[in-house]
Amino acid sequence: MTTVEQLGRYIDAGAAKLPADLVIENGTLVNVNTAEYYLADVAVYQGKIVAVDADVSAYVGPETRHVDATGKYLVPGLIDGHIHVECSKLSLTRFAQAVVPHGTTSIVSGLDEYISVVGVAGLDELFTEIDQSAMKVFWGLPYKTPYTIPTSTISYNVSAADHERIQPQENCYGVWETVREAIQMKDEDTLKAILTAQKYHKPCSVVHQWQPAST
């Protein structure tokens, strides 16, 4: 969490009162807000972008590192808005190594198949791995596990009690992958999970339609 002192340093860095740690020069900026692209330099201080301009020389100090981006495009990190990363059969570290170089810097996932095997408590090891990764994971607690109708046998069943306990935590961004059938059937755990998200002002991911296997 950013402290008051750190925020003050970011403000000073943004005003060019503190030198940037890094400047990226001569790149073509893709401005996704205005749908334009143009030459621009970027100044970075302690991992935060503090300036984007045609000339950031005012932000350069004796220890500032320079990266020449001539012929390259500068774009915001891409966010994969819905992925079952565990189905890649890769560790989160290896997955990040595969996608970050191609521009995907963040993913939204429920990590649900991990939970089916190791339970919610078992995710602590994954969160430690995530913290050491270059990729950010926005994690939502699955509305429940298992998803199957009728209920199948797995290691851990996510319940409404889990949502009441976990949704207030900072690393939980809401409810993951609520399916239509659970709402139509007025599944009690599902409805309680939704109400818990409402209480803590957290989102529920897009409702999915579950398709039974053909017989």
What confidence tens digit (pLDDT) does each residue in 182-207 have? 888 899 999 999 999 999 999 998 66
Q: What is the pLDDT of residues 53-81, one digit of tens each?
A: 999 999 999 999 999 999 999 999 999 99
Stated pTM of the model: 0.78
Q: State the average pLDDT for the chain.
A: 91
Least confident interval from 43-57, 112-126, 200-214: 200-214
The CATH T-level fold of domain 4-74 is Urease, subunit C; domain 1 (2.30.40)
pLDDT attached to residue 184 = 87
How is 2-60 classified by DSSP, letter by letter? --HHHHHHHHHHHTTSS--SEEEEEEEEEETTTTEEEEEEEEEETTEEEEEES--GGG-
The CATH T-level fold of domain 78-199 is TIM Barrel (3.20.20)
Domain residue spans in the chain?
Answer: 4-74, 78-199
Q: Which of 123, 119, 116, 122 is nearest to 154 (CA)?
A: 116
Rounded to an integer, what distance in angstroms lies between the CA atom of residue 143 and that of residue 188?
11
